[in-house]
A and B are shown apart, each in its own frame.
Chain A
Amino acid sequence: MNAYLPREAEVVERIEESPNTFTLQLKLTDDAPYSFEPGQFNMLYLYGVGEVPISIVAEADKERVLTHTIRALGRVTNGLAALRKGDRIGLRGPYGHGWPMRAAEGRDVVIVTGGLGCAPSVSIIHHILEHRERYGHLSILQGVKHTDDLIWREQYDRWEAMPDVRVLLAADIGSPDWRGHVGLVTALFDKLTLEPRKTIAMLCGPEIMMHASADLLHTRGIPADAIYLSMERNMQCGIGHCGHCQIGSQFVCRDGPVFVWPQVRELLGVRGY
């Protein structure tokens, strides 16, 4: 059994999210089983170009449709951006450990994201909203560089209108129509009403943001082992063989991408790791 062999998937929908961010909805063309946990990722393969790890945004529904939101930044992602409905790609996964949805049951959840870090965290939100009775209060904090970078505005509005959900948005650079905070996402922590001992935090975004957020949340009383973060590194195999995604003694693809903070705390923010 060749663990590297992709399966074929068809693009069933392509959605433009922002000038450089798009969503592909993919359907596996075979009948083999597929299931994933929120926070896991797939390797997406563009014919003749290569593979790239992309987190799975949404729960697979009965139609076996998988949603991936991607920023066009490199060779493969720029190629994926050019795909249209009906095009075929390769897909293998899911890989890695997802978010601690079990451990979060019965607790309040704080989600802190930055930039496209919102994509891997949407699966947490979907999961909580689908199993609402299992979780306490949900706080969603999302930071972006520029207000134009905020995708899924309507979704945030919809979540904000739900009971027991709070949405707080921040942009480093504001615009006249911006109703959120202007500045860093960490400034939003002052607006949170936390019960630290019954709260679990899940962070996803630039490392410097997660580094600062984890420190601040811990200062506010959230135990270190109740803070989780999703790391990002160069990944070429997804199964701990290629060596690119190493952080200390962890392979991000195999031991992560979601880590409990103490696992990576020592090296978080150390330049060159």
Chain B
Amino acid sequence: MNDSLFLPRDALQTLIEQLKSDGFRVIGPCVHDDTIQYRDLADSATLPFGWTDDQAPGNYRLTQVDSPRAFAWATGAQALKPYLFKPRETLWRAQRDAAGKLTFSSEQIEDQPLAFIGVRACDIAALKLHDKHFLDGVKDSNYAARRAGLFIVAVHCAYPADTCFCASTGDGPAAADGFDLALNELEDGYLVEVGSERGKAIAARLPLAAASSDLQHQGAQAVAEAAKRQHRQLPSGNLQKPLFERLHHPRWDQVAARCLSCGNCTSVCPTCFCNAQIDAPALGGEVTEHLREWDSCFTEGHSYLHGFMVRPETGHRYRQWLTHKLGSWHEQYGRSGCVGCGRCITWCPVGIDLTEEANVLCNSAAGESPQ
């Protein structure tokens, strides 16, 4: 880790200004609607100084504490996903003239590059997965346009929530790569790590000082302790085989009895990518927009196939989600689809814990009680 540079806390404003002067739209964490959300940053004062969170299964609360820190919280409900893969967006438009002739045209994607401040390691890991999904093979042009030029200022996580388990997925709490700059928040400021040439160029314009070995030790200690505080973990290794060997396990019915099939877990999951396409014709009839919006494998319509549902029951849907996320994802993307952010546990209205479900399933006898 090259973290021998130190940025005083009041220089965060300079960082924002430098990014803006390079043409970036700067986005960072802010307190909004009683949660930490990523929003456009006017200046550093809008960062959540003195705020911390309390997360547990089915619970999220923010509280103010006497602390000068801006990043003393775990991830909120969303980070990068809604900016790169929009909850709802126009994919193309169709126009119909009086003779019935159709003309199709693409939507212009905003081209101002995005810079994010305060991105956690779990969300960088999720970004890499979305890159594989949307950019390998046939490219998704909307995602690609927003991804191009993305600048990331990571923050090593020193405040994991009760629901976090990134140490067990290998994705955190420190950001190993995938960033331009990384900050490690200490009591008086930040250790700064440079991750790219672009990051180096920005760092050269910041009032950086050499960091003492004591400060460096404090930074390393904070990250190590954050990992130790995480008490949840997923079973280790590739879970594809153990999960698919237990497709008829009674646990699916037990979790289905609690699951509301609301899809909150998939909305907050930074790696879930399911989406639906719909048409929104204008009242005049001459033009129609073809939209894409987030969808969830927990909805009935997700598996609709000419008159019947492939997954009519909640148990089928929870099983689909878990076996995909932790199992078949390995074959599709070379790793698990879970980055250990714990959002699905926090934001599940009934507090279903995927680490608990995965552990119960994988630690029980294979092929138990066929339905």
Interface string of A82-105 (1 = CB under 8 A from B): 000011111000000000000000
Q: Does B302 contact A (CB under 8 A)?
A: yes
Please give, as numbers and ranges, the residues of chain B lying within 8 Å of A236 by CB-CB distance.
275-277
- In B292-346, which residues have CB < 8 Å from any A CB? 295, 297, 302-307, 310-313, 315-317, 319-320, 323-324, 327-332
Partner of B141, one of A3, A45, A71: A3
Contact of B98 with A by CB under 8 A? no
Residue A239 at the B interface, CB < 8 A?
Answer: yes
For the complex, is B150 an interface residue (Cβ under 8 Å from A)? no
Contact between chains at A243 and B303 (CB < 8 Å): no
A224-263 interface code vs B (CB 8 A; 1 in, 0 out) = 0000000011101101111110101101001000000000
- Interface residue stretch chosen among A56-64, A106-114, A139-147, A264-272: A264-272
From residue B130, how far is it (CB to closest CB) to chain A in Å? 11
Q: Which of B141, B273, B274, B281 contacts A1 (CB 8 A)?
A: B141
Residues of the A chain whose Cβ atoms lie less than 8 Å from the Cβ of B134: 241
Query: Which of A47-55, A120-128, A170-178 forms part of the interface with chain B?
Result: A47-55
Check A208 for interface membership: any CB of B closer than 8 A: no
Q: How far is the CA of A243 from the CA of B137 in the complex (A)?
A: 15
Whether, in the assembled complex, A73 has its beta carbon less than 8 Å from a beta carbon of chain B, the answer is yes
Check: A8 CB closer than 8 A to any chain B CB. Answer: yes
Q: Which of B106, B244, B275, B323 contacts A243 (CB 8 A)?
A: B275
Within the complex, what minimum Cβ distance (angstroms) separates A125 from chain B?
A: 24
Inter-chain contact B137/A240, CB cutoff 8 Å:
yes
Q: How far is the CA of A106 from the CA of B224 in the complex (A)?
A: 64
| Contact A3 B310, CB 8 Å, known A8-B101, A242-B295, A272-B320 | no
Q: Does B96 contact A (CB under 8 A)?
A: yes
B311: chain A residues within 8 A (beta carbon): 272-273
Contact B247 A88 (CB under 8 A): no
Indicate whether A242 sits within 8 Å of B140 (C-beta atoms), given known contacts A4-B92, A233-B310.
no
Q: Which of B94, B276, B281 contacts A242 (CB 8 A)?
A: B276
**CA–CA, A249 and B279, complex, Å:** 29
Asked if A50 meets B91 with Cβ closer than 8 Å, knowing A74-B306, A270-B247, the reply is no
Known: A2-B92, A47-B96. A242 touches B275 (CB 8 A): yes
Q: What's the Cα separation between A161 and B174 when bound, in Å?
A: 72
Cβ–Cβ contact B274 & A243, under 8 A: yes
Kindly state the separation between the CA atoms of A6 and B276 in the bound complex, as whole angstroms: 16
Is A32 an interface residue, CB under 8 A from the partner? Answer: no
Closest chain A residue, CB of each to CB of B96: A47
Q: Of A45, A49, A71, A232, which is within 8 A of B305 by CB? A: A232
**Cβ-defined partner of A234 (8 Å) among B285, B305, B324:** B305
How distant is the Cα of A5 from the Cα of B313 in the complex, in angstroms?
34
Interface size for chain A: under 10, 10 to 19, 20 to 34, or 35 or more residues? 35 or more
For this complex, into which size category does the number of interface residues on chain B fall? 35 or more
Q: Report the bound CA distance from A131 to B197 in whole Å.
A: 58
Q: Quick one: given A5-B92, A244-B302, are A50 and B277 in contact (CB under 8 Å)? A: yes
A271 B244 Cβ-Cβ under 8 A: no
The smallest C-beta distance from A59 to any residue of chain B, in angstroms, reads 25
Judge whether B288 and A6 touch: CB under 8 Å: no
Q: CB distance B101 to A88 under 8 Å? A: yes
Task: Kindly state the separation between the CA atoms of A254 and B307 in the bound complex, as whole angstroms.
Answer: 23
Taken together as a complex, chains A and B put the C-alpha atoms of A47 and B96 apart, in Å, by: 8
Q: Is the CB of B277 within 8 A of A49?
A: no
- B324 CB, nearest partner CB in chain A, Å: 7
Q: Given the interface contacts A49-B279, A242-B295, does A8 sit within 8 Å of B274 by beta carbon?
A: no
Question: B276 to chain A: which residues have CB within 8 Å?
Answer: 236, 242, 244
Q: Is the CB of B328 within 8 A of A248?
A: yes
Whether B290 is near chain A, meaning CB under 8 Å from some CB there, is yes
Question: Bound complex: CA of A2 vs CA of B327, how far in Å?
Answer: 31
Q: Which residues of B contact A89 (CB under 8 A)?
A: 102
What are the interface flags for A29-72 relative to B under an 8 Å C-beta threshold, 1 for contact and 0 otherwise? Answer: 00000000000000001011111000000000000000000010
B277 touches A239 (CB 8 A): no
A232 to B324, CA, bound (A): 19
Q: Which A-chain residue is minimally distant from B94 (CB atoms)?
A: A47
- Are B244 and A248 in contact, with the CB atoms below 8 A? yes
B201 at the interface (CB under 8 A from A): no
The interface of chain B, by Cβ under 8 A from chain A, is: 91-92, 94, 96, 100-106, 133-134, 137-141, 240, 244, 247, 273-279, 281, 285, 288, 290, 295, 297, 302-307, 310-313, 315-317, 319-320, 323-324, 327-332, 371
* Additional pairs, 13, CB under 8 Å, beyond known A48-B281, A243-B297: A5-B106, A8-B101, A8-B103, A45-B290, A74-B307, A77-B306, A88-B102, A234-B310, A244-B276, A244-B295, A248-B244, A270-B247, A272-B320
**3 closest cross-chain pairs (CB), A and B:** A272-B316, A243-B274, A249-B328
